[in-house]
């Protein structure tokens, strides 16, 4: 079981094609955050009962009342975000390893002690467990080039979630961003074109721009904005990807 899960997980990251169906599409109003974002004073924008995508490093997986609970590592040693896994996801969650980067979707259910709780939760993406990443590095370069291709969509998404709107009060759009900041948009478009060509030259396609890994990389690279970066930014897998980004 563990080997089969590992192969499936690595296929999401290292596969030659981009299987967008492998990662469920997040609802437009879903809050994407890190464990430390949820533990911050404003809770990372999470509201009780709202849908959340939390992505970070696994601290531990334990059983509580017959259900598996995944706890996330954070900068606060005594606190964590807890995800109670929904029925049917026991195999996926049970094979997660400490230190593994994972993204989970769940509903905010208040606190369990001093820890935010999501329930029910499901694994939507998991990176390779520590020490098991493919040696050829194709997954790392693919992620770096994908981030460069998704700069504009990710930037606009961050602006919207940060509260930036158009003069008429409507949400910020990519078209409006290009009109407001043409020089910056032109630079990002050139980087996208270059990254796309590099992926094509090795027979790879990009990860979808709403892929959880790209949101983690964006958080860790900027270290600011509506998302609070956490200990996941110091993970070797994340640092290796960020090191490949074009200056």
Among 8-17, 115-124, 143-152, 175-184, where is mean pLDDT lowest?
A: 8-17
Q: Where are the alpha helices (DSSP H) in 86-211?
A: 90-94, 138-149, 151-161, 174-180, 182-201
pLDDT in tens, 56-68: 999 999 998 888 9
Q: Are strands 115-126 and 101-112 parallel, antiparallel or unpaired?
A: antiparallel
pLDDT in tens, 149-208: 999 999 898 888 777 888 888 888 999 999 999 999 999 999 999 999 999 999 999 999
- Cα 95 versus chain centre, distance: 19
Global confidence as pTM: 0.83
What pLDDT is attached to residue 98? 96
- Domains of the chain, by residue range, sit at 2-12+22-126, 138-243
Q: Does the CA dihedral 236-200-216-11 come out positive or negative?
A: negative
Question: What CATH number does domain 2-12+22-126 carry, 2.60.120.640, 3.40.50.720, 2.40.50.140, 3.30.390.10?
Answer: 2.40.50.140
């Amino acid at each position: 079981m563990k080997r089969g899960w590992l192969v499936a997980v690595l296929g999401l990251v290292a596969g030659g094609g981009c299987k967008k169906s492998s990662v469920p599409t997040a609802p437009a109003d879903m809050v994407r955050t890190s464990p430390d974002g949820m533990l911050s004073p404003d809770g990372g924008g999470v509201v009780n009962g709202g849908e959340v995508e939390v992505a970070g490093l696994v601290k531990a997986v334990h059983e509580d009342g017959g259900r598996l609970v995944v706890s996330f590592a954070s900068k606060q040693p005594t606190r964590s975000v807890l995800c109670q896994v929904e029925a049917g996801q026991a195999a996926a969650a049970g094979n997660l390893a400490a230190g593994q980067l994972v993204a989970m979707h769940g509903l905010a259910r208040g606190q369990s002690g001093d820890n935010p709780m999501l329930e029910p939760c499901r694994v939507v993406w998991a990176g390779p467990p520590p020490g098991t990443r493919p040696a050829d590095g194709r997954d790392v370069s693919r992620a770096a080039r994908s981030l460069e291709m998704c700069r504009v969509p990710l930037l606009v998404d961050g602006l919207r979630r940060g509260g930036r709107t158009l003069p008429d009060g409507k949400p910020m759009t990519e078209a409006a961003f290009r009109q407001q900041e043409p020089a910056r948009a032109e630079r990002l478009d050139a980087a996208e074109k270059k990254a796309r060509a590099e992926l094509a030259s090795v027979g790879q396609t990009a990860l979808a721009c709403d892929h959880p890994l790209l949101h983690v990389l964006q958080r860790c690279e900027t270290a600011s904005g509506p998302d609070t970066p956490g200990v996941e930014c110091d993970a070797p897998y994340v640092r290796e990807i960020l090191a490949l980004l074009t200056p």
